[in-house]
Amino acid sequence: MTDWADPDTLDLSDGETFDRLLDRADTREKGHFFEFFAEGDKLVHDPGLRLTHHGSEQWMGQTLNHDPAYWRADTAQERGFEERPVHPDYLLACVMGITVEDLSEKGGYFLGRDDVEFYQPATAGTPLSVTSTVVDTRTSSSRPKYGIVTWETEGRNRETGERLVSYQRTNMIPRREPAATDGGAVGEQDESDPTLPDTLVTPEGEHFEDFQRALDTAREENAAVAYRHERGRTMDDQLVAGLPLATLNTARQHHNRDEMADSPSGDIVAYGDVTRSIALAHARSDEATYREHRFADERFHDFVTLGDTVYGFTRVLDCDPDAGPSRAGAVTFEHVAFNQEQTPVYSGRRTALIQRDT
């Protein structure tokens, strides 16, 4: 009789033996299927990542976010920060990364995010406490193997309880059992051609007054304030796999090529927050950003994979001179990230405080 407790009974380095044994083994699953989620459920995520300057600087360097207020203490103080904060894109990515194991590790694609609001700057050393509440669950009308879940997520300082950021996010999530659907498409859109503005206006500078003047001109001339940014960033291993894993984002889509080989993308894909941050970095390089305020209607339109190059395009929607401190005014933008084939991959609306030219 074989003593299976004896470690020498089986030679697991023998390929044939290991293959036979592996076929009989159960897989201890990570993450949750669609059926796990019910409206109103609250999930407390663990572990809570501790924010660091190293992590923030790594994120900023790789995504081309070079705002000196997040690199140097003197500029941070000039900008009204009590101490040098971490970059808000890094904060948002860390808060969302922590949630992945509980919410979306099973796979499925990040469809969008809304009502992103920053309440106060976060500094290095801050330990995060993150919770999510299920807002809505529904069947995908086009993909019977998936459902669609929306969560509201909140990131706080674990030690003080102060709220740092909140948002709503929507993902496709695999179902344990396929559902019957009506075969309709998700998000069908009117294919009629939109009416384009007569001309496009580009701001002459990077300050609030430049955006306001451009918008005033556009309103007088049946034009729009819209322009593209010169920089592009090609997706490499560090961006696609390294940055997500540094924020504890364990979704297989970003680091498991074996699992993704038979997926619609055919390869690992970029974390949406990396794509987004690169597009925003291109935009920020052409503006005198003072503070980030809020984001809305963020959508992810197509896969971004290794070797793709991400570019940025911006439209200015509104200027509010009365919002913010005396040294800045609020500008609302619509940003679009697109790839080397000019295919949109991300879009979203952003309100930021832009420094005045005084």
pLDDT at 6: 62
The pLDDT of 276-283, averaged and rounded, is: 96
Mean pLDDT over residues 112-134, rounded? Answer: 96
Question: Over 50: is that where the pLDDT of 106 sits?
Answer: yes
Q: How confident is the model at residue 247, as a pLDDT?
A: 94
Positive or negative: CA dihedral 98, 259, 170, 323: positive
Least confident of 40-54, 209-223, 253-267, 335-349: 253-267
Judged against a pLDDT cut of 70, whether residue 188 lies above it is answered with no
pLDDT at 135: 97
Least confident of 123-132, 136-145, 234-243: 136-145
pLDDT, residue 128, reads: 96
For the segment 170-194, the average pLDDT, to the nearest whole number, is 68
Mean pLDDT in the chain? 90
- Beta carbons of 348 and 296 less than 8 angstroms apart: yes
289 and 67 in contact (C-beta within 8 Å)?
Answer: yes
Rounded mean pLDDT of 319-348?
Answer: 95
List the end-to-end C-alpha distance of the chain, in Å, as a whole number.
87
- SS3 per residue for the chain: CCCCCCCCCCCCCCHHHHHHHHHHCCCCCCCCCHHHCCCCCEEEECCCCECCHHHHHHHHHHHCCCCHHHCCHHHHHHCCCCCCECCHHHHHHHHHHHHHHHHCCCCCCEEEEEEEEECCCCECCCEEEEEEEEEEEEECCCCCCEEEEEEEEEEEECCCCCEEEEEEEEEEEECCCCCCCCCCCCCCCCCCCCCCCCEEECCCCCCHHHHHHHHHHHHHCCEEEEEECCCCEECCHHHHHHHHHHCCCCCHHHCCHHHHCCCCCCCCECCHHHHHHHHHHHHHCCCCEEEEEEEEEEEECCCCECCCEEEEEEEEEEEECCCCCCCEEEEEEEEEEECCCCCEEEEEEEEEEEECCC
Tokens representing residue 20 in the block: 């036979």
Average pLDDT, integer, range 107-115? 89
Q: Tell whether the model's pLDDT for residue 184 goes beyond 60.
A: no
| Confidence category of residue 13, pLDDT binned at 50, 70, 90 | confident
Q: Which of 114, 130, 81 is nearest to 294 (CA)?
A: 114
> What pLDDT does 311 receive?
95
In angstroms, the CA 345 to CA 322 distance is 33
Does 7 have pLDDT greater than 70? Answer: no
pLDDT at 350: 97
Q: What is the pLDDT of residue 181?
A: 56
Q: Spell out the domains of the chain, with CATH numbers in brackets.
A: 29-186 (3.10.129.10), 195-235+270-358 (3.10.129.10)
Residue 98 reports pLDDT greater than 60? yes
Closest CA to 355 of 78, 60, 73: 78
Share of the chain above pLDDT 90, in %: 73
pLDDT above 70 covers a percentage of the chain that reads 94
pLDDT value at position 3?
54
With a cut of 80, say whether residue 191 has pLDDT above it: no
Average pLDDT over residues 225-253: 94
Residue scoring higher pLDDT (284 or 31): 284
